Amino acid sequence: MGQRPKEKDLKGVIPGLLRILRKFSPYIRKQRFTIVGAFFALLIETGLRLLEPWPLKYVFDNILIPAHNNSTHIPNSFGLNPVMLLTLSALAIVGITGLGSMAAYLSTYGMSLAVVEVLSEVRGQVFDRLQRLSLSFHQQHKSGDLITRVTADIEKMRLVTIKTALPLLTNIISLLGMLAIMYWLNWELALVATAIFPFLTLLTSKTIGRIRSFAKQHRDSEGVLAATTGETIGAIKVVQVLSLQEMLHSIFAAQNQKSLDEAIESLKLSAALERTVQVLMAVIIAAVLWRGSHVVLHKGLTPGELLVFMTYLKNAFEPMRKLSNQVGQIAKATASGERVVELLEYEPNVRDLPGAEKAHPFFGAIRFENVSFGYSTGKEILKNISFAVQPGQQVAVVGPSGSGKSTLLSLILRLYDPDSGRILIDSQDLREYTLDSLRQQISVVLQDSVLFAVSVQENIAYGKLGSSRKEVEQAARLANAHEFIMQLPQGYETVLGERGGTLSGGQRQRIAIARAAIRQAPIVILDEPTTGLDSASEQIVNAALEKLTEGQTTFTISHNLRAVQHADIILYVEGGSILEQGTHSELMRLGGHYATLYQMQSIIDSEQTGDTYAIEA
């Protein structure tokens, strides 16, 4: 059973609703004509609903009761004879219901249309925001939970607004109308009928606050469940290889139970509230019947008017009974809405700064000036990094695992911003360029390149949107990928499995290289792109990489020092600092960390291959 939620009353729902309305107001404003039209139809519908019992009153007071009493005096019959009055009343019953249904249709259709339009725009905005939120945001949030916000939470809002909030609005307006008429008919009797309302409101609002609290917890738990499922399916190979099924199942079962408990708790509260309201309403109806009959006997009301009174009360009963459930539903949808608003209000910490300009075509000169960075405050991963690279230079970043190499290069892409210091491209702080124009001029090939489940052609063209088939083919040739692509069942049109799962590691890397090559970017980042490949694949991929990086400023992270020894600059990173930098010969002469690591690798290599070779210096 989950942690007991903090009790909140109706006051907790209203600020949430206002926050959602404020956030959605630009989209709501666009639909204002539809909304106003639908609201007008809704007013007509409720007006006609109020008229419904009145033909019956006239039939009772002006025809049935006088006839029953053999009275010749027919009160206030608009100068009509009884048959005429009866015919008109019968026609009025059909007319009122017919017109009311038409108005109800128009109001429901109009409001639904507006709601669907607004929420579809919101969904588009949320998706857009999700893509733009900084990497640090995505690393802190589970993808399943984010997916739930784009899908289930928005769907919940759509359903509840159309199926619950609109009927609730109709009910509130007609309740107010009924109350006004009841007070006009007999204020004393109306007072008896409404005496219980403050008590009802108090009870309802208290319970609703608690339902809302459980509902939010429930939705969050659903997000966690979705995240666990997504993670498990995403890593199914690892799960099966390590036989993690039992362990993951027990984690899932615990989360499932928590979600179930929260759902049951909120259902229990809703059902209890609904029944309590039902009993209270029966008490009111009995009291009004008892007191109303006395008033009629003392000629304070006509029997027909008491009939109208009782019909209103009975009609009010249904909406009142539903009210608790409807507000409960709205509380749940508010919780969903707040989760969506949370996303929309989240400001990416890496974003275009005011005054940022589109970058010019880069020459590729890069300088780090005293750059420090940590993923979380208080834990520095990069410490006071400084180095300079000339256009077209090949830079190797080497050092032990976890020393900060990938982090260093991610700063060039502005996946994160430095906490202090600055990074210059062509002598200008990269924060002065717009994000898109900066990233478009950097090609990246990672260790395990992710491909999309679209065609090979599209996967390569994602590197430069709008590129032609000819450009795609050129890039594929450069990446030594053209031949194997032509052997795929549909060549360039072959649709890949999710994350490129239908290709071998080497093939995936070559498509990723083609995707990087199509950009013809002046800056290239290679993060261990050949790790995990067999030596035949490695050779082909390396040949492709050589063509990709020729003449471009290139940063290569590699654990294999022999593979990068010809770099123009080697940066040796350890513990987040650059301990050594220079060419291979310079660093070997220095005889420091790099030289030691290189010698160690050489010995291991020679032991593995049985060769002996001189350690180059």
Closer residue to ligand ATP in complex, CB, 103/525: 525
Task: Give the chain's radius of gyration (CA, Å).
Answer: 36
| 501 backbone dihedrals φ, ψ, rounded to 5° | -60, -15
Q: How far is the CB of 405 from ligand ATP (least distance, A)?
A: 4
Closer residue to ligand ATP in complex, CB, 112/406: 406
CB-based contact 152:225 (threshold 8 Å): no
Q: How far is the CB of 527 from ligand ATP (least distance, A)?
A: 7
**Token pair of 359 as six digits:** 């970058």
CB-based contact 38:106 (threshold 8 Å): yes
CA distances (Å), 364 to each of 394, 407, 413, 516, 521, in order? 11, 20, 13, 16, 9
Q: How far is the CB of 5 from ligand ATP (least distance, A)?
A: 31
Q: Which residues bind ligand ATP (CB under 6 A)?
A: 139, 375, 381, 401-407
Q: How far is the CB of 586 from ligand ATP (least distance, A)?
A: 22
454-476 in b/e burial notation, b at 16+ Cβ within 10 A?
A: ebbbbbbbebbeebeeebbbbbb
Closer residue to ligand ATP in complex, CB, 405/508: 405
CB-based contact 276:208 (threshold 8 Å): no
Q: How far is the CB of 406 from ligand ATP (least distance, A)?
A: 3
Closer residue to ligand ATP in complex, CB, 175/445: 445
Closer residue to ligand ATP in complex, CB, 41/381: 381
The Cα 257–Cα 323 span in angstroms is 29
Closer residue to ligand ATP in complex, CB, 313/408: 408
Closest CA to 53 of 99, 100, 96, 104: 96
Q: How far is the CB of 576 from ligand ATP (least distance, A)?
A: 7
CA distances (Å), 189 to each of 49, 291, 294, in order? 21, 7, 10
Closer residue to ligand ATP in complex, CB, 76/401: 401
Q: State the DSSP code for 254.
A: H
Q: How far is the CB of 225 from ligand ATP (least distance, A)?
A: 24
Closer residue to ligand ATP in complex, CB, 394/403: 403
Helix residue ranges per DSSP H, 300-371: 303-345
CB-based contact 20:334 (threshold 8 Å): yes
The Cα 65–Cα 469 span in angstroms is 88
Q: How far is the CB of 146 from ligand ATP (least distance, A)?
A: 16
